[in-house]
Structure 1
Amino acid sequence: MAPSVAGKRDPFVLHASTIARAHTYLAFAAFLSALAIGCALHYKKIVKNGVAGYPEEWFPSVSATIGDWYPERNIFQILIAINAGPRFALVALQYYLHRSATSSIPGFLFLVGLLRTLSCGGWVFITSSDDHDVHDVLMVSYIVLNLPWMFGSLAFTPANHTAARRRRRWTSIAFFGSLVPMIYFFIQHKVHRIPGAYTRYSFFEWSLILLDVMYDSSVELDLQAADLKITVGNFVATSSEADKIADAPLSSSASAPTPAAATTAVKSAGESPSQLNGKEATATKATATQSLYARAQPTVSFVSDVYLSYIFWSVFTALTPTLFYFSIWQLGISGQELALLSSLSPLFLGIPPFKEWAYSREGRTTLHVLTLVGLASYLSSSPMTRLLLVSFANSAATVGATAEWFDGDDEGVAYQALVTGLGFLLTSLSKHANHSNNPIWPFVNENSGGYNKTGIALALLAILEFAYRPVQSQPVKPSKSAPTPAPQTQWFPGAISLGSFIFSLHSLLGDPSTLIAWSWTGYPITGPIPSQHGSLTHLAQVLGLGLAAFLAGSVSTFDVLAHPLYLALGSASAYVMYTHKDWTGYAGGLGVAAFLMSLVPTVWARARAAALGGGVAKTAAVAWLVVCLFDVASVFTVAYAFVPGGEYFRERTNWVLAAQFAGIGLAFRWPALGNGSMALTLSKRAQYAVQYALALLSALSLLATLYHIPTVVPTPHRPGPRIVRAGIWTVHFGIDNRGRDSQRLMRDLIKDMELDVVGLLETDLHRVTFGNRDLTRVIAEDLGFHVDIGPGPNQHTWGAVLLSKFPIINSTHHLLPSPDGELAPAIEAYLNMFGTPVKVIVSHNGQEETPLDRELQATELARIMAGSYPDPVIFLGYVVTKPHAPRPAPYQIMVEDGKVFDIDDEDADRWCEYIFYRGLYRTSYARVSRGIVTDTEMQIGQFVVPPYKRTIRDDSRTARYLRSFKEWLPEDHWFPMEYYPELGGKNGHGYHVFNTPLYYKLPDEALGTPSDD
């Protein structure tokens, strides 16, 4: 107790560390009591899950323990509710200990602590039984918020608080380390449905709870060391005491007289105590608000800068998919490719008045606003209008980016380089979290996975912050003096290196699954999976950018990344990436990802030096011209059949890759080029901001992977009657007839037709041309399919995809003979259809202009099909031939030499798509119009698989063409009624050509049993 004052009660003094201890005890009591009571009263119920129960599962998860049964749920929630007061108090006390006039991070951590506490209350009181999705979202939010909370608190723990630092360090490392095995066992449980996996998952889930409580308990040690006390009670000081109070130094102890008491003692003459207290309180609040705003301003500015960088990359990466929509339709140069030249707009910076305006705050703000025109173009239904608006926005974006990159002192350039890297990483993350589509791209909208309005609203807030940002509060203050003189550097190599680097980021790291597509070999899976391992690409990028930020703190260490030996390391990684497959090839790709991101400051330093020597306009324009040339060259490696001079680029991805790295190499230290050491450093505050941002983005990437893991188990639609529905569809690179992403339109038709096997063609979108996208994400996640994406982008084909509800036993990727025209892909896979291995082939043959290619490709496909005779086969392909066309046309070669049957050889109205089969009973054949999805219909064949180890005894034409009405068959064989043209069709699709699916009777032998043999 504090000394008493005459006429007053002694104030009550509470040691702040007692609150921390109470929080720890209450938290442990809540969770452990729920576990004990749950195991005692409802053991078998809380260990049971959707896959298995006791004895395979024998330890309960946290959610089942705290949320499912009375009374443990109620006791737990009462204790947690009591614990809410101490928890909020600890957040405030921790801020009180860490607050600083020179850093805004404690204020940021205070906000994180509040959100973390609220999200904790959310997933505690909204259990998985109440609302599974809300519970999961709040739980994931809590884990994400733990990242800045834990590492931020650790960073602000005083060095002399060794016990607290030690506890925070090991508990935070153990916490995030436990996430990896926990996610692994969750995948084993949720996706692979392995009994017992959830028990193992539960151990790590409980460890997170215990580690989290242990981490928060370390604040007790901080409060004890600070001897922080909370005093409750009145205190009245005499005038002499007031003078002492006014002269006393500030202390960390809260037991000192309150400001209200002190100001009461020294009040001015003629003012009542209540009036004075009111004014003082108002002034104190205003000062505190201003102080908090001032401390938070650098953090807010940093976040705004990163988001504006994200906007730049989003507009830039949207340009090529928007313009190549026209090239795809015309299968050649259409003229719209000139929109690429909009990137050359930095040439206007050679005009002094324009440059002065573009470098000003008003000019940069205006350029940011003009960039939003491209994002807002999503509102237009015209592809041409969108292209014009995106081109205009890209012009503004590249001018604005150039002004940001090359203005300011050395520290400013380093800051802008790292912010640019963070913005690029954020674009990749946003695609990873949104089924490989950037949510603010103008060719997506709310119907195709877009969040355009949200993205534009956030951009407007970031632009407002930039426009009204106090000069002294900017993350890096612009230099008022001349920039640090750069060594004598030739401007042209610096421009080449910048252009090569921008293209390399765009083409290889624009989506985290692109590098996986390069290494993919099919089934059985012996490498990374695009939908599940893309976060590893992000982690490699984070490692590289984090290394750059760390080394940028010192002039002596930063230049290590410009040594030619480091270039040799990056080039070796690229060689491994190109020449190897599966995990080895992907490991090389991860090396490339880390290498490229670590070079961001180095390349920017060289480019800035080049701009100082050769002028900003000339340097930037040449850099963007290099980007445009690489864009064209990379497309020509696969589109060579449709462009003049394309034969020189045919399948030359290795040349393009070598040229990329040769261009990047010009940024390294070469005495002949005058590229000496560059003194480019970064402030500690900016370093910390970048590191925290990288940590947050890493966690978000992992959580996005976890959230999007398919939860629908692939199972055939009609296992009872052993029916298989197989479809073939040429989907025109995932861009519909209106120039929008078509993933969801494809999903809807596949879902309605209840397809078990799907062949999709023109699907290799891992190029800058198509936005580095993956067309299988939405379909696989929402409908549940095994996916084989076929030959990767480094195999120079238009792409083929196999989706299967049946397990894929193995698959082989083929590059069919193509001496004259485009390289043709094929997937040969064995599927386990109700215990019977069935070979399925998906292929995309050459065009009409290359008859030799089509003949050779048909011959190879026939060999593949005949090689497994008489076993069952389903062929789904793009053939380009008339039905019954004699040799050397493909039809006769494939049917006769392949020993297969046409799905219906009386259908004479075909040209591109064909379905062939063998060893199965065909019961229906449908042709479904394309709607607005593509330029090609979907064809569907329905088959019945013979019982295990039985073969078809009569495959004569008479037996195969027992035509039927659907009413003569069980309803399992019927196609959806709403797609009949007389009923109006659905979503623009309908049965056409015959205006109905064709049906065939099952032969008597198909209705028999094994005993008939």
Structure 2
Amino acid sequence: MAPKFKEGDVVFSFSGRWIAYAHTALAYVAFLGALIVGLSLHYKKIVQNEYYGYPQEWFPSVSATIGDRYPERSVFMVGIALTSGPRFILVALYYFLTARPNSSLPKIIFWIGVFRTFTCGGWTYVTSTDDHHWHDIFMVSYLVATVPWTLGCLALSPPHPEAIKYRKIMAGSFFGMLVPLTYFFLQHKIHKVAGAYTTYAFCEWIVVLLDVGFDAVTVYDFSSLEIVVRDVKGLSRGNQKLLKDDIKEKERNQPVIQASTFDGPYNWWDLSVALADIYNGFLFWTLLTSLAVCVWYFPLWHMGLSGYEAAILATISPLLLGIPQIRSFAIKYNRWLHYSAVIPGLFGWQITDQVTRLGAVSFAVWQACMAWTAMWYAERNNSSRLQARVLAWVGGLMLSSIAKFACYSNNPLWPIMKAENGGWNWTGLLLAIPAVWHATRPVTTSGGDQTSATGKKGSGLMAGVGIGGLIFAFHSLLSDSSTMIAWTWSGFPVNGPQQVPYGAVTIAAMAAGLLFGTSSPNLLGSWTAYGVGAVGAMFLTYAQDWTAYYGALVFTVYLCGVAPVLIKSAVQHNPAIAFGFGFFIYILMVLFHCWVVAYAFVPYGPLVREHNDWVMICTVLQIGNGVFSALTTNAQSRAKTTKSPRGRKQTAYYLHLFFALQLLSMAIAYMRFPTNDYKPYHPEEKSLTAGIWTIHFSLDNDMWSSERRMASAIRELEVDVIGMLESDTQRIIMGNRDTMQYLAEDLGMYVDYGPGPNQHTWGAALLSKFPILNSTHHLTPSPGGELAPLIEATLDVYGTQVDVFVFHSGQEEDVEDRKQQSEYVSRVMLASPRPAILLSYLVTPPGQGNYNTWVGPKSGMHDIDHTDWDRWCEYILYKDIKRTGYARVSRGTITDTEIQLGKFVVGQAPDYSDTMIPEDQVAPGLRFPAMFRGEGVRGHAYHVFDEPRYFA
């Protein structure tokens, strides 16, 4: 029986705005109270950071203030505990205020608000000292959840002009402040600029105040809410007058306002279909990008063309769709065509024989290219479904880039990966089976909304040229978020973006391009947008550092935005012409892209030697062909209901998932952000262990990615500084990988890349436990053969500046090249006024020919052990630094070249004598690890001398 309300039913009531007041006041008390206490009791301690203290740094960061010191930590914790009550009520009230029939967004934002509140408690009560890992997880989760919470509140904001105005101000200021905050943090963390952390701290405090201030705006919204406490059994003495009937009546007559953008229920089934579609797109890019890596294994070990390069022709399978019977079969049995691609392609890692593995991947790519082309062609008369398929395909590229961003530039499903080196092969395969089934479901609706072109069409061949240029641009530039960043790199001090965290920015540009491409296809398909994209490509190709990267972002937005336009045009033509010919153009561009650097090993290679700019010009012109055709074809093929509610809603699910992918990439960037707290192995001895290793593009003898095995060897050998040669893998044929990302982060080392992948070398890199103060990249004289890179870097070694040179000379066939290179590099080394070490690949026998230019008065350098007669390629030279040891370590099965090591001591006078001493006379910190004696470990052991050599 329902209770009867009496005069005393209402015990207490108050305006909802007091919840906003309480939340704001308590949150500010928590932060500012801790700040006041910290400044009063521990001022110099909380302004101290890892590099500087007072007076260079004079204001504390938020984390330093609310961290582990008593009592400010307790003040903050108590304040946040008191804030939690109003916080949960605020989230609930905002949901009640914005909830609408058949609208799911308020529920989503409500649960995000609850999640965000719990994660705030997580990073508050689990400090980095308690558990650094979980503190970071809670912090990343909180920051990631802040983005949808802010945007969701803006989207749902009730029609109160003041509230909307201040929300926009707070949100805009919050996101705008993240730019200087990130900049000054990088200035502090990477460049170690004195005072940068203080500026960063001010930015951080402003962000905190804005974060709380954004939620304080609810005071305007909650002023229309009355919170009432009733006594439903009449046990209290209440006052019915506390309930304002006029407010109830006013709200009863208030019209319901619908959130137009998010009308209707959120269909989780449709969302799952979109997710499966994107994962299916991810599988396509996984297969396509894996083919080139598997092909690369064979010319790599043959040192020239092997014949297996013909496998790249697997992409031209859409030519068969010109045959009506095959086209009908591919459309009718499209699901099974996808399965015939995915299963053998992802199962390839189980095949140990390299030729058979390549065969399986080639077949998978053949089937995948045909399956996707047939799927697009089948949807040519249904604009919304076609657009969804294109979004899934480009979104799959984005997901592939994110997966590589998370896995240090390796796709975890590639056939060169397995569990031992970071592969997720079984997981990817098991997810692929239901995803492909879901993504290739039979369409229940019949007919289409797009009329076939009855007037003039554009050229099918030109459309194919555009498709070929688009796929090549996607593969060569966007299949990894670090590729274009590597193009912009100019050395230390850092003057441009770095792979982490700016890989997430590249991925965000991809999403922005897709958003613009779906919302404004006419703009992205125009010559104006084409011109802007071409300018971006020009800056990427010819500039460096930030200027080049800004061009890269512009070109990225354009490529992803124009993709729907070009594919919509191409499907109106015969698929054999538009896509079969398009993939043929793609193959030619892949060869061109490889020929510009491999000119010394391929027929007619010198004709395109060092012309990466020609590759970019051809790519842009090819896309221009596609735009020219699309302007005619798309104008003649109009969609009737492209902007229908059904079409918009179907597209919206993909865009929501793209937004979720951006949050994921932001979280990855945060978790991977370098600590830069690197320490050498034996600082007590002021020891520097230097090494040189030609890593053969980090693909081992059995076609497995070898980064993890390399890291284990370098760590166990206690190498402080190592030069890596044949290290540039930022090309299609090598997988657009970046081996140095994993090595640098896993080993805790600074990394410098030699001339970038747009400079036509096979690559040189420097990894160092010591800060790199400055570096210069040289392209040494190479009139006839391959280009030879040189890194000239100055390191801060225990307070002493030491120059380290990493060099890869030309091949033995190019005599004049090696002569000129030896003279050039010798002049550079002689000009160094500091202690110096050369880590090199010289292609000359000891004591003969160019060796006498490298070693002696022309360079000022000394051989680390001139009695070692068994060398041919790798050499370590030095000057003005004390040498204490030398060792040669066998390569195992990782590469075709051994590791050479030298031990040096800073602060002692150099001794160039050949006097050797037994190991027991050497300080423990200056000895080479004993674990590599005898049989060694994992195929690595001291060889030639069977033990290290030590010098007096």
**For 1:422-501, what aligned pairs fall within 5 Å after superposition?**
422-460=395-433, 462-463=435-436, 465-466=438-439, 479=448, 487-501=456-470
- Give the corresponding residue for 1:931: 892
CA–CA distance in 2 between the matches of 1:513 and 1:584?
A: 16
CA distance 1:56–1:517, change in 2 (3 Å): closer
Q: In the TM superposition, what is the alpha-carbon distance from 1:878 to its structure 2 partner?
A: 1.4
Q: Can you give the 5+ residue segments of structure 1 that lack an aligned partner in the other structure?
A: 237-249, 257-290, 552-557, 1002-1013
- Give the corresponding residue for 1:600: 563
RMSD of aligned alpha carbons:
3.8
CA–CA distance in 2 between the matches of 1:685 and 1:753?
A: 57
Q: 1:944 aligns with which of 895, 898, 905?
A: 905
**Residue 522 of structure 1 pairs with residue 491 of structure 2:** yes
Q: 1:989 aligns with which of 933, 940, 943?
A: 940
Q: Counterpart of 2:281 in structure 1: which amino acid?
A: S
Q: In the TM superposition, what is the alpha-carbon distance from 1:668 to its structure 2 partner?
A: 2.0
Cα-to-partner distance string for 1:872-913 (whole Å, 9 max, x where unaligned): 44222112222223x3xx323433543433222222212221
Q: Counterpart of 1:938 in structure 2: which amino acid?
A: I
Provide the secondary structure at the position in 1 that maps to 2:120: helix
Q: In the TM superposition, what is the alpha-carbon distance from 1:374 to its structure 2 partner?
A: 2.4
User: What TM-score does the superposition give when structure 2 sets the normalisation length?
Assistant: 0.87
CA–CA distance in 2 between the matches of 1:345 and 1:631?
A: 17
Provide the secondary structure at the position in 2 that maps to 1:599: helix
**Residue 505 of structure 1 pairs with residue 474 of structure 2:** yes
- Give the corresponding residue for 1:281: none
CA–CA distance in 2 between the matches of 1:252 and 1:302?
A: 43
Provide the secondary structure at the position in 2 that maps to 1:595: helix
CA–CA distance in 2 between the matches of 1:110 and 1:671?
A: 44
**For 1:612-627, what aligned pairs fall within 5 Å after superposition?**
612-613=572-573, 615-627=574-586
- Give the corresponding residue for 2:393: 420
- Give the corresponding residue for 2:185: 186
CA–CA distance in 1 between the matches of 2:543 and 2:93?
A: 55
- Give the corresponding residue for 1:576: 539
Provide the secondary structure at the position in 2 that maps to 1:651: coil
Quick check: 2:842–2:872 contact (8 Å CA) kept in 1? yes
**For 1:295-694, what aligned pairs fall within 5 Å after superposition?**
295-350=267-322, 352=324, 355-356=327-328, 358-359=330-331, 363-364=334-335, 367=338, 370-408=341-379, 409-460=382-433, 462-463=435-436, 465-466=438-439, 479=448, 487-551=456-520, 558-608=521-571, 612-613=572-573, 615-669=574-628, 676=635, 679=638, 681=642, 683-685=647-649, 688-689=652-653, 692-693=656-657
Q: 1:892 aligns with which of 843, 846, 852?
A: 852
CA distance 1:145–1:199, change in 2 (3 Å): same
CA–CA distance in 1 between the matches of 2:930 and 2:687?
A: 18
Q: In the TM superposition, what is the alpha-carbon distance from 1:5 to its structure 2 partner?
A: 4.3
CA–CA distance in 2 between the matches of 1:902 and 1:183?
A: 45
- Give the corresponding residue for 1:211: 210
Quick check: 2:540–2:548 contact (8 Å CA) kept in 1? yes
Cα-to-partner distance string for 1:800-834 (whole Å, 9 max, x where unaligned): 11223344454333323333332222223344445
Cα-to-partner distance string for 1:729-777 (whole Å, 9 max, x where unaligned): 1000111223222222222222222223211100111111111122221
Q: 2:949 aligns with which of 998, 1004, 1013?
A: 998
CA–CA distance in 1 between the matches of 2:741 and 2:226?
A: 54
Provide the secondary structure at the position in 2 that maps to 1:142: helix
CA–CA distance in 2 between the matches of 1:60 and 1:469?
A: 60
Cα-to-partner distance string for 1:282-323 (whole Å, 9 max, x where unaligned): xxxxxxxxx998633333333333333223222221221122
Greater Cα shift, 77-86 or 500-509 = 77-86
CA–CA distance in 1 between the matches of 2:487 and 2:712?
A: 29
CA distance 1:445–1:93, change in 2 (3 Å): farther
Q: In the TM superposition, what is the alpha-carbon distance from 1:946 to its structure 2 partner?
A: 5.3
CA distance 1:746–1:251, change in 2 (3 Å): farther
Quick check: 2:458–2:629 contact (8 Å CA) kept in 1? no
CA–CA distance in 1 between the matches of 2:323 and 2:797?
A: 68
Q: In the TM superposition, what is the alpha-carbon distance from 1:67 to its structure 2 partner?
A: 4.9
CA–CA distance in 2 between the matches of 1:383 and 1:925?
A: 36
CA–CA distance in 2 between the matches of 1:598 and 1:135?
A: 38
Greater Cα shift, 663-672 or 207-216 = 663-672
CA–CA distance in 2 between the matches of 1:78 and 1:456?
A: 48
Quick check: 1:33–1:76 contact (8 Å CA) kept in 2? yes
Quick check: 2:686–2:798 contact (8 Å CA) kept in 1? yes
Quick check: 2:692–2:840 contact (8 Å CA) kept in 1? yes
CA–CA distance in 1 between the matches of 2:23 and 2:494?
A: 48
Provide the secondary structure at the position in 2 that maps to 1:130: coil
Quick check: 2:806–2:839 contact (8 Å CA) kept in 1? yes
Q: Can you give the 5+ residue segments of structure 2 that lack an aligned partner in the other structure?
A: 235-247, 255-262
Q: In the TM superposition, what is the alpha-carbon distance from 1:28 to its structure 2 partner?
A: 3.9
Quick check: 1:431–1:439 contact (8 Å CA) kept in 2? yes
Quick check: 1:4–1:11 contact (8 Å CA) kept in 2? no
Provide the secondary structure at the position in 1 that maps to 2:599: helix
CA distance 1:211–1:575, change in 2 (3 Å): closer
CA–CA distance in 2 between the matches of 1:900 and 1:76?
A: 59
Quick check: 1:102–1:295 contact (8 Å CA) kept in 2? no
Greater Cα shift, 808-817 or 489-498 = 808-817
Quick check: 1:309–1:420 contact (8 Å CA) kept in 2? yes
**Residue 822 of structure 1 pairs with residue 786 of structure 2:** yes
CA–CA distance in 1 between the matches of 2:786 and 2:716?
A: 34
CA–CA distance in 1 between the matches of 2:19 and 2:253?
A: 16
**For 1:787-806, what aligned pairs fall within 5 Å after superposition?**
787-806=751-770
Provide the secondary structure at the position in 1 that maps to 2:944: coil
CA distance 1:800–1:481, change in 2 (3 Å): closer
Q: Counterpart of 1:214 in structure 2: which amino acid?
A: G
Quick check: 2:788–2:810 contact (8 Å CA) kept in 1? yes
Quick check: 1:107–1:292 contact (8 Å CA) kept in 2? no
CA distance 1:841–1:186, change in 2 (3 Å): closer
Q: Counterpart of 1:584 in structure 2: which amino acid?
A: T
CA distance 1:763–1:696, change in 2 (3 Å): same
Cα-to-partner distance string for 1:317-340 (whole Å, 9 max, x where unaligned): 122112211221112222322322
Number of aligned pairs?
922
Higher RCO structure (Cα 8 Å, ≥6 apart) = 2
CA–CA distance in 2 between the matches of 1:5 and 1:863?
A: 98
- Give the corresponding residue for 2:152: 152
Provide the secondary structure at the position in 1 that maps to 2:789: strand
Q: In the TM superposition, what is the alpha-carbon distance from 1:204 to its structure 2 partner?
A: 3.2
CA distance 1:318–1:819, change in 2 (3 Å): same
CA–CA distance in 2 between the matches of 1:453 and 1:64?
A: 43
CA–CA distance in 1 between the matches of 2:500 and 2:619?
A: 27
Quick check: 1:978–1:986 contact (8 Å CA) kept in 2? yes
Greater Cα shift, 936-945 or 227-236 = 227-236
CA–CA distance in 2 between the matches of 1:422 and 1:172?
A: 27
CA–CA distance in 2 between the matches of 1:908 and 1:88?
A: 75
Provide the secondary structure at the position in 2 that maps to 1:989: coil
Q: 1:969 aligns with which of 922, 936, 939?
A: 922
Q: Counterpart of 2:859 in structure 1: which amino acid?
A: G
CA distance 1:295–1:92, change in 2 (3 Å): farther
CA distance 1:751–1:40, change in 2 (3 Å): same
